[in-house]
Amino acid sequence: MKTVLFLVLICAAFSGSTAYAQVQVIANASVGATSVTVDDLKTVFVGAKSTLSDGSAVEPVLALSGAAHDAFLSQYVGKSDQALRNSWKTLVFTGKASMPKSFGTDADIVAYVARTKGAIGYVGASADVGGAKKLTVK
């Protein structure tokens, strides 16, 4: 009985971290940072800032949907897909921003990020990041 309870507790402790493991944050080689904070990710992806804390100018790139998209929004942005898109629409309507590029596949996101100066995005943990660089999230 103690063994079963111990295993349940271990599984519960690690289940909260699985969303982090489902996502890789990637950037174009022009982005100077090698790591990014959760706060940086949130402020960039909600359109509040266009730079990371190290001064790197960035352009957020979104996935259209999927497990990595849901995990990224839940863990790093704290908004639903609809709430995030509505926030961006408000910024666009008021002339404060342009709508971020959105892609349907990890491969399309990687290709865009790899070729676009300042681009920052996210893909599934198993995706090949090709010419983009992976950022560590702190």
pLDDT in tens, 72-91: 999 999 999 999 999 999 99
Query: What does the angle CA 23 – CA 34 – CA 28 come to, to the nearest 5 degrees?
Result: 75
Per CATH, the architecture of 22-137 is what? Answer: 3-Layer(aba) Sandwich (3.40)
**Residue 68, Cβ neighbours under 10 Å: how many?**
22
How far apart, in whole angstroms, are the C-alpha atoms of residue 113 and residue 7?
41
pTM of the model: 0.84
pLDDT tens digits, one per residue of 75-133: 999 999 999 999 999 999 999 999 999 999 999 999 999 999 999 999 999 999 989 99
**In the chain, where does DSSP find H-type helix?**
2-15, 18-21, 38-45, 67-72, 81-93, 106-115
80 alpha carbon, distance to own chain's centre: 13
pLDDT tens digits, one per residue of 4-60: 434 434 443 443 334 445 999 999 999 999 999 999 999 999 999 999 988 999 999
pLDDT for position 33 = 94
**What residue ranges do the domains of the chain occupy?**
22-137
pLDDT for position 43 = 96
